[in-house]
């Protein structure tokens, strides 16, 4: 994924509001569903789906990096944007995988562990715009290569 060359003015404030909205939404989720055996089950289910999908479509070497199973060489239609984290699996094509990108994806893995089965639904509700998606913001927009590293402000991480 190439960074947005010039993010729109005010994107930092929009990002902060998106994170705040997400925190409000989390208050309505029963505690038994967050960081619990139930969410862990959802994480393992997601990881199984990621493993199966990655095993079918990956043409590259499968490695374990920063706690993630990385499936490379996948056709671009099999994952979103520059790559997709499903449970503990990072599904991607042939682009560069940097330590910062892996750090970004490791945050998504932790999100899967926290939210489990809710993760795909909450992610969809957060929207496709990474500058307003609380999960992408929390994982680090710069590390995910959504905004250039030269930005002065960095919203909540």
Q: Is the pLDDT of residue 154 over 70?
A: no
The bridge status of strand 68-71 relative to strand 62-65 is antiparallel
Q: Is the pLDDT of residue 138 over 60?
A: yes
Q: What is the average pLDDT value for the chain, to the nearest integer? A: 92
Helices (H) then strands (E): counts for the chain: 5, 4
Confidence of residue 3 (pLDDT cuts 50, 70, 90): low
Alpha carbons within 13 angstroms on the beta-carbon side of residue 117 total 8
What contacts 96, CB < 8 A, 6 or more positions away? none
3 state DSSP class of 65: strand
């Amino acid at each position: 994924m190439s960074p947005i060359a010039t993010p729109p003015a005010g994107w930092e404030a929009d990002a902060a509001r998106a994170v705040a909205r997400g925190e409000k939404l989390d208050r309505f989720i029963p505690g038994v569903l967050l960081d619990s055996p139930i969410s862990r089950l959802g994480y393992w289910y997601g990881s199984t789906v990621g493993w199966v999908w990655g095993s079918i479509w990956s043409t590259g070497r499968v490695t374990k990096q920063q706690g993630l199973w990385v499936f490379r060489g996948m056709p671009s239609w099999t994952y979103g944007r520059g790559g997709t984290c499903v449970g503990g699996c990072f599904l991607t094509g042939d682009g560069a995988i940097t330590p910062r990108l892996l750090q970004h994806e490791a945050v998504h893995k932790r999100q899967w562990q926290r939210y489990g089965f809710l993760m795909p639904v909450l992610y969809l509700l957060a929207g496709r715009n990474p500058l307003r998606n609380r999960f992408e913001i929390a994982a680090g927009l710069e590390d995910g290569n959504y905004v250039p590293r030269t930005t002065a402000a960095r919203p909540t991480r």
